[in-house]
Amino acid sequence: MGLLSSDQLQFFNSQGYLVIESFAGEDEIEGMMKRMEQLVDNFDPSSTASIFSTKNQQKLTDDYFFDSVERVSFFFEEKAFGDNGDLKQPKQLSINKVGHALHEIEPAFKKFSSSQKFSSLMHSLGYKRPAVMQSMYIFKQPGIGGEVVPHQDSSFLYTEPQTCTGLWLAIEDATKLNGCLWAIPGSHKNGLVRRFLRDENGVKFDRPSPSYDQKDFVPIEVKSGSLVVIHGDLIHQSFENLSPKSRHAYSLHVVDTDGCKWAPENWIRRKVEPEPLYVS
C-alpha cells in the first residue's frame, strides 16, 4: 500500500525532503481552516500570554507549553504586543501557532492524519508503528509572522535510533514573499548537530547552533494542499513574513514506536502513550 514512486523515494533519500502536490483536497483544507477560525474566535487571549519565541526557545519553560502536548493551546507572535502589553491587532492576526494535540482532539485535523493516504505515505517511508507526536497549526501572520531559525526536527523529537519525519501541509500557498520553507538539500546526510533537552530547570539546547551559509538554502514554494515531507535531520528554516498575506500550514511530526526508544530528555512527556497510525 505504498504511496510514493521509486523516483520520489530516491529524491527524498538524496535531498532530505519531498513535495507531494495536491496531497490534501480542497474540502480537507477548508475543513481545517474553518475549524481553526472557530477555535481562534472562541479563544480568550486574557487566559494566557504565552509567546512562542521562534528565536529563543529557551524562554519556553512554562507549564502552558509543556501541557500543550496533550491539548489545543495558543501561542502568540512575539511582535503581537505593544509596549503597554496589549495586543496591537485583533487576536486573529496575533497568534503564531496552535498546538500540539490537534491531531488527537480536533476531528477535522484528526481525520487528515488518520487518513489512508497519510498511513500509506508513512508505510512508503518504511514506518512499522508510526505515531504522531505533535501537531501545529502555524499562521505566519501578515507583517509579524516570526522567523523560524535553521533547525533539524530530530533535535526536538529524538528517538534511538532516529526516526523523526516532519509532514508540513500548506493550508495556504507558500511563497518566498510570505515566508515559505527553505532547506539545505542533502544536509540530512550530515547527521544531527544538537539536541533540545528538558530537565528540572526547563529546556535548552545542548550546544550552540552552527552558522549556516544562506546561499546553501533553497526555497520550497508550494501551493495550498501540497505536503512537504521533511527528513528529521534536514536543516530547514523560514523567514519572517513581512508581506500582507498570511501563510497558514499544518505541521505534524511522526516517529516510529517499533523498536525505537523515545528519549526521556525530550520536551514532550506524555501521560498517555500516543496511538500508532497502524502496526505492520
Residues lying near ligand AKG in the complex (CB under 6 A): 138, 140, 148, 153, 166, 168, 236, 238, 249, 251
Rounded to whole angstroms, the Cα distance separating 165 from 168 reads: 10
Cell (9 digits) for 154: 530530530
The residue (of 123 and 140) whose beta carbon lies closer to ligand AKG is 140
> What is the closest distance, in whole angstroms, from the C-beta atom of residue 181 to ligand AKG in the complex?
6
Nearest residue (CB) to ligand AKG, 54 versus 119: 54
The nearest distance, CB 195 to ligand AKG, in angstroms, is: 15
The whole-angstrom separation of Cα 127 and Cα 255 is 8
In the complex, minimum distance from the CB of residue 247 to ligand AKG, in angstroms, rounded to a whole number: 8
- d(C-alpha 69, C-alpha 100), whole Å: 5
Shortest separation between residue 120's beta carbon and ligand AKG, angstroms: 21
Between 166 and 276, whose beta carbon lies closer to ligand AKG?
A: 166
Nearer to ligand AKG, 44 or 153 (CB): 153
For the CB of residue 96, give the shortest distance to ligand AKG in the complex, in Å: 10
Going by C-alpha positions, the residue among 187, 171, 157, 188 that lies closest to residue 257 is 157
Concatenated DSSP letters of 85-131:
SSBSS-GGGTEEEEEE-HHHH-HHHHHHHTSHHHHHHHHHTT-SSEE
Closer to ligand AKG by CB, 198 or 272: give it.
198
Residue with Cβ nearer ligand AKG (184 or 200): 184
Give the cell for residue 174: 507558500
Evaluate whether 152 touches 158 at the Cβ level (below 8 Å): no
What's the min distance (Å) between Cβ of 243 and ligand AKG? 14
Q: For residues 250 and 262, which CB has a smaller minimum distance to ligand AKG in the complex?
A: 250
Sorted by sequence, the CB contacts under 8 Å of residue 122 that are 6+ apart come out as 130, 165, 254, 277, 278
Distances (CA, A) of 122 to 134, 256, 269: 15, 9, 23
Backbone φ and ψ of 151, nearest 5°: -155, 170
Q: What is the DSSP string of 11-53?
A: HHHHHSEEEETT-S-HHHHHHHHHHHHHHHHH--GGG---B--
For the bound state, the minimum distance from the C-beta of residue 259 to ligand AKG, rounded and expressed in Å, comes to 24
Cβ-closest position to ligand AKG: 238
